[in-house]
Amino acid sequence: MNAARAIICLALIYCACSKPRVAPAAAAAPPMRSPQNEWAVVPSAARPVTWSTAVAGPKRSDLDQALAKPLEYPWHMFDRKTNERHEARTCGDLLALHESCYPMDVPGDGGAPTELFENDWSIYADYVVACRITVAIQNAKPARVDYLGAFPLDNARLREIPAGVIPTPSDEEEKQLKAASAKGVSWKVWDRHIHVTKTTGRGVTVESPDTYSFLSVYGRADFNGDGIEDLLLWRDGRGQEGTWNSTAGFVLTRLSARGRVEILKVIE
């Protein structure tokens, strides 16, 4: 009996040793992607539209109602064509007025309206840009893919942000900056002295010997319908000398993982 058991055991050992070895199961291979998608963040669900508290409260209903929110400073608007007077108390009021309307200062004593001071014009321009940015975010769609990543506003980002974001009072320089951006020239390449001087929860201050700017991310979404997430950057800039001021919103995007940051649209 013991001999029989020994024979059976030897036979089993022989069979086990004679079987070909099988490699352990390999981990499931990731889906094939082209090189341009190598770093893409592709979630299973759409990337939602997001916005800064500078635009609206955290709920979608807050964003939808943002145009009806009372402005901190209502504006006395006058129509150059009809001489009619309008009160703009909300973003909706401002945007509904014809382009022939412009703000004027109305004295409290009932005197004749007067032209705004330059500083007041700058404040008015800030309001108009902010209102138009709100509309852009309201109309934006969720994105399917993101090539921009976290995109913190730091010195490294100045090597990516296009030169066209640079503030300037010169129409000629603005054309040059736009042309440079189209060729891939960044802010840092155009102005090697630019650097971040202050960072807060709202945004960053960047300065060079010639310019001073405040940058803040106001929203992220698909702003042009191509499925790729874009970033809406607020830029308030001025010169280190002089009194000029320039406020604008810039829709930035990256069309592939290895692509450069581009300006899709300027909101003024």
Q: What percent of the chain has pLDDT over 90?
A: 73
Instruction: Let me know whether 197 and 121 are in one domain.
Output: no
Task: Say if 175 falls within a structural domain.
Answer: yes
Residue 80, pLDDT > 80, answer: yes
Burial degree of 246 (CB within 10 A; 0-12, 13-18, 19+): buried
Q: Which residues contact 251 (CB under 8 A, 6 or more apart)?
A: 136, 223, 224, 230, 231, 232, 233, 263, 264, 265, 266, 267
- Tokens standing for 152? 């913190």
Task: Say if 9 falls within a structural domain.
Answer: no
pLDDT band at 45 (very low <50, low <70, confident <90, very high): low
- pLDDT at res. 156: 96
Residue 188, pLDDT > 90, answer: yes
Instruction: Let me know whether 122 and 179 are in one domain.
Output: no
Instruction: Let me know whether 117 and 184 are in one domain.
Output: no
Instruction: Let me know whether 96 and 181 are in one domain.
Output: no
Alpha helices in 31-170 (DSSP H): 60-64, 91-96, 118-139
Task: Say if 25 falls within a structural domain.
Answer: no
Task: Say if 4 falls within a structural domain.
Answer: no
d(CA 266, CA 69): 24
Q: How many domains does the chain have?
A: 2
Burial degree of 158 (CB within 10 A; 0-12, 13-18, 19+): buried
Mean pLDDT check: name the lowest of 71-85, 197-211, 214-228: 71-85
pLDDT band at 91 (very low <50, low <70, confident <90, very high): very high
Tens-place pLDDT, residues 5-14 = 443 343 433 4
Mean pLDDT check: name the lowest of 9-18, 44-53, 90-99: 9-18
Instruction: Let me know whether 125 and 162 are in one domain.
Output: no
Residue 219, pLDDT > 60, answer: yes
Distance of alpha carbon 122 from the chain centroid:
22
Average pLDDT over residues 55-59: 96
Of 139, 167, 184, which residue is a domain's last? Answer: 139
d(CA 232, CA 221): 8
Compute, in degrees rounded to 10, the torsion defined by CA atoms 31, 34, 38, 43: -50
Instruction: Let me know whether 131 and 214 are in one domain.
Output: no
d(CA 136, CA 215): 18
- pLDDT at res. 176: 97
- Tokens standing for 97? 């007025």
Q: What is the mean pLDDT of the chain?
A: 85
Task: Say if 45 falls within a structural domain.
Answer: no
Which whole-number Å values give the CA distances from 181 to 166, 193, 198, 216, 236, in the listed order?
A: 10, 18, 25, 20, 19
Instruction: Let me know whether 170 and 240 are in one domain.
Output: yes
Domain that holds residue 215: 157-267
Task: Say if 239 falls within a structural domain.
Answer: yes
- Tokens standing for 180? 């440079």
Q: Quick one: residue 249, left, alpha or beta (phi over 0 = left, psi -120 to 50 = alpha)?
A: beta
- Tokens standing for 245? 């001021």
Task: Say if 35 falls within a structural domain.
Answer: no
d(CA 115, CA 93): 20
Of 87, 106, 139, which residue is a domain's last? Answer: 139
Instruction: Let me know whether 196 and 114 are in one domain.
Output: no
d(CA 9, CA 16): 11
Mean pLDDT check: name the lowest of 4-8, 42-46, 211-215: 4-8
Per-residue DSSP letter, 222: B
d(CA 128, CA 20): 75
Instruction: Let me know whether 122 and 164 are in one domain.
Output: no
Task: Say if 33 falls within a structural domain.
Answer: no
Instruction: Let me know whether 175 and 92 are in one domain.
Output: no
Instruction: Let me know whether 129 and 177 are in one domain.
Output: no
Q: Which residues contact 211 (CB under 8 A, 6 or more apart)?
A: 166, 167, 168, 191, 194, 237, 238, 239, 240
- pLDDT at res. 67: 98
Of 75, 104, 139, which residue is a domain's last? Answer: 139
- pLDDT at res. 99: 87
Instruction: Let me know whether 73 and 113 are in one domain.
Output: yes
Average pLDDT over residues 235-246: 94
Tens-place pLDDT, residues 20-34 = 333 333 333 333 232
Mean pLDDT check: name the lowest of 141-145, 239-243, 247-251, 261-265: 239-243
